[in-house]
Amino acid sequence: MSGFRLQLLPSVFFAIALAILLALGTWQIDRMSWKNKLIETIKSQAKLPPQALPPKSTWKQLDPAKLEYRTFEARGTFDLGNEIHLFTHTSPSKTKFGGAGYLLIVPFRLNAGGTVLVNRGFVPENLKDRETRLPFQLTGEQKITGLVQLSQGVNYFTPKTNFKKNIWYTRDINAFAKYLNLPEVAPFIITITKNANDQALPLAREPKITLANNHLGYALTWYGLALALCVVFVVFSRKDPNDGN
């Protein structure tokens, strides 16, 4: 029966590497628990009754992340001459609208002072130009109610913005404000979630609460690597029975 031959340097490296892999796996388990609690908190916040939008004087001190997916209401006037067209693809629900189209991001001049960007909802591709949907425009003072959303990140696969055609592929509050020549806007977007008429445009829809939660997969990966390392170390350390040393 073969035994083991433990060598100091490989054993030290094995112990260090194993400790690191196990620590990374445990850290991901902790992150998974934290993320699950965060998702539950956000979902519960989204169900709270609407509150008044924080005043402009508090915007610089706000932590927008703590407001995400909470419902707020405000009064003001849409600046219908300025729009951001954020490309999206949606499936038809109870309405006749779906497929490729755009979310309309429009400045909303608050009665209390300041401007907040508002996601008014979806329009099909053939109604991208404002002139094609003038009957749907809201003029005069309006009361809006919607969820707070923040800017999105981009990655290697995110298409570049077509500034000439005003076609965007990611939600970027600062870039929107610069494009619309707005000196100061709220550090969040209000997404309108309900239409007074389900067949009206733009079509408001409640955004899905999607937070990446891949921590279990990451944890299993780290633990799997730790197991593989143990197997490799055992095989490496097995003593050849023909070795007389």
106-115 average pLDDT score: 93
Within a domain: 199: no
What is the DSSP code (8-state) at residue 86? Answer: E
Give the rounded distance of the alpha carbon of 202 from its chain centre: 22
194-216 average pLDDT score: 73
pLDDT of 170 reads: 92
Q: How far apart are CA 222 and CA 14, in angstroms?
A: 15
Query: Which residue has better confidence, 173 or 37?
Result: 173
Q: Looking at the structure, do residues 43 and 78 belong to the same domain, yes or no?
A: no
**110, β-bridge pairs:** 76
| Residue 107 CB coordination number (10 Å) | 23
88-101 average pLDDT score: 71
- 13 pLDDT exceeds 60? yes
Q: How confident is the model at residue 169 (pLDDT cuts 50, 70, 90)?
A: very high
Domain count, the chain: 2
Within a domain: 143: yes
pLDDT of 185 reads: 92
Nearest Cα residue to 65 out of 147, 146, 148, 155: 148
pLDDT of 237 reads: 78
pLDDT of 1 reads: 43
User: Quick check: 215 and 34 in contact, CB under 8 A?
Assistant: no
Q: Looking at the structure, do residues 144 and 184 belong to the same domain, yes or no?
A: yes
Q: Looking at the structure, do residues 75 and 156 belong to the same domain, yes or no?
A: yes
CA distances from 186 to 71, 110, 144, 166 (A): 15, 11, 15, 21
Q: What angle (nearest 5°) sits at the alpha carbon of residue 218, between those of residues 216 and 220?
A: 70
Q: Looking at the structure, do residues 155 and 108 belong to the same domain, yes or no?
A: yes
Within a domain: 117: yes
First to last CA, the chain: 15
Within a domain: 169: yes
pLDDT of 118 reads: 95
- 91 pLDDT exceeds 90? no
Within a domain: 26: yes
* Dihedral angle sign, alpha carbons of residues 138, 141, 144, 149: positive
Query: Which residue has better confidence, 199 or 111?
Result: 111
Q: How far apart are CA 136 and CA 203, in angstroms?
A: 10
Within a domain: 22: yes
Q: Looking at the structure, do residues 87 and 2 belong to the same domain, yes or no?
A: no
Cis ω for the linkage preceding 202 (within 30 of 0)? yes
Within a domain: 241: yes
Q: Which of 192, 220, 237 is the last residue in one of the domains?
A: 192
Q: How confident is the model at residue 56 (pLDDT cuts 50, 70, 90)?
A: very high
Q: Looking at the structure, do residues 81 and 44 belong to the same domain, yes or no?
A: no
Average pLDDT, the chain: 83
Q: Looking at the structure, do residues 214 and 172 belong to the same domain, yes or no?
A: no
Within a domain: 65: no
Q: Which two structure tokens, joined as six digits, stand for 45?
A: 């916040």
Buried b (16+ CB within 10 A) or exposed e, 52-62: ebbebeebeee
Q: Looking at the structure, do residues 213 and 108 belong to the same domain, yes or no?
A: no
Q: Looking at the structure, do residues 52 and 83 belong to the same domain, yes or no?
A: no
Q: How far apart are CA 105 and CA 159, in angstroms?
A: 18
Q: How far apart are CA 160 and CA 162, in angstroms?
A: 6
Q: Looking at the structure, do residues 24 and 136 belong to the same domain, yes or no?
A: no
Q: How confident is the model at residue 95 (pLDDT cuts 50, 70, 90)?
A: low
Q: Looking at the structure, do residues 171 and 219 belong to the same domain, yes or no?
A: no
47-65 average pLDDT score: 87
Domain enclosing residue 17, as ranges: 1-58+209-245
Q: Looking at the structure, do residues 41 and 127 belong to the same domain, yes or no?
A: no
pLDDT of 132 reads: 74
- 162 pLDDT exceeds 80? yes
Nearest Cα residue to 9 out of 242, 237, 240, 241: 237
User: Quick check: 203 and 195 in contact, CB under 8 A?
Assistant: yes
pLDDT of 2 reads: 52
User: Quick check: 241 and 2 in contact, CB under 8 A?
Assistant: yes
Within the chain, residue ranges assigned H as helices are 8-46, 173-179, 215-237
